[in-house]
Structure 1
């Protein structure tokens, strides 16, 4: 069994169902195009990692609109809030024999393979590793055992996610390492920061 695993949370790229905060400004079709681009970046960054990679989709279709390709397994996220979905995914993959697990989404175009490799290394010296996002959330979370307390009583999609997650870790007297802060793409300001002001 692989000791390191990568969980990728993704949405099926359906018109009107992805990046809704962005689509309010640039429209659903342009937003879908951006989401396809983010999916491709995620594949490019993760495909060379010689570890088990599992894509947890919001739902699976018989003929999926996007496939990460060779080397990626597909699963379906549990129903519930983001915290519950992540908790269940971590639990499943630890039960399947993982020793270190990272989870990422598909929203961060600045992610690099070297960041993921460094995150696994940081778990040698810390209980958790976190990649802070510019909006107060995180783009990466890693751990060595199931830790449900990280996913409870967190107001998801707010600027307090990172600080409250760190508070939870401290309350449990656990250790954590932080990666460099990166941006993710949620709204028009994020998109302009990434693509330039022409957008």
Structure 2
């Protein structure tokens, strides 16, 4: 039976290895605490959605599933740039029998269960769904059939990711639904916005 799937891309919570732009401002230890908080929010938001949940880690290590234990499958990301990693993850999950697939990261504390549910619902009438991030990227991407073109020729981690992805979808004569724009936590300004300090 075909199922809806939610892919979560995550990095192992290791000192000095997460949110390096934020760490340049507040230090590695505080940044790691922020990252643990973001992981906990991601788990809370995703844990009650009735879909298959798969966490793709940057690498696996002992105890890696402690953050996402029950109700989650743990996989490892392919080697390559972000686009290639996401492309292979989508391909694998569609091949294993998925009806709709959505991918998120772990750096958007404003994500809600309702937004995820709306994203899956949007795929009833659109080929793609995108959650725009305020920095020009996206916090969510969803599709109902495997389409590799959305991962090609995109300059990842730039302010052009969202617009170029939309252009790519439209150029291929596909439809896309845009969700509410949300803030990702990448640097000190994002953190202040999240914590209400601005």
- TM value normalised by structure 1: 0.97
SS at match of 1:99: strand
Task: State the match for 1:18 in structure 2.
Answer: 18
Counterpart CA distance in 1 for 2:18 and 2:2 is 32
Counterpart CA distance in 2 for 1:65 and 1:11 is 12
1:17-166 equivalences in 2 (<5 Å):
17-64=17-64, 66-166=66-166
Cα offset, 1:63, TM superposition: 2.8
Residues 1:65 and 1:34: Cα distance change in structure 2 (over 3 Å):
farther
Stretches of structure 1 lacking an aligned partner (at least 5 in a row): none
Cα offset, 1:2, TM superposition: 4.5
Counterpart CA distance in 2 for 1:80 and 1:32 is 24
- TM value normalised by structure 2: 0.98
Asked whether the 8 Å contact 1:13–1:66 carries over to 2, the reply is: no
Counterpart CA distance in 2 for 1:20 and 1:169 is 31
Counterpart CA distance in 1 for 2:4 and 2:153 is 28
Task: State the match for 1:181 in structure 2.
Answer: 181
Counterpart CA distance in 1 for 2:12 and 2:3 is 28
SS at match of 1:35: helix
SS at match of 1:100: strand
Q: Deviations over 1:44-67 (max 9, x none)?
A: 000001110000000000232742
Task: State the match for 1:167 in structure 2.
Answer: 167
Stretches of structure 2 lacking an aligned partner (at least 5 in a row): none
- Runs of 4 or more above 3 Å deviation: none
In the alignment of these two chains, the number of paired residues is 198
Greater CA deviation, 56-65 or 71-80? 56-65
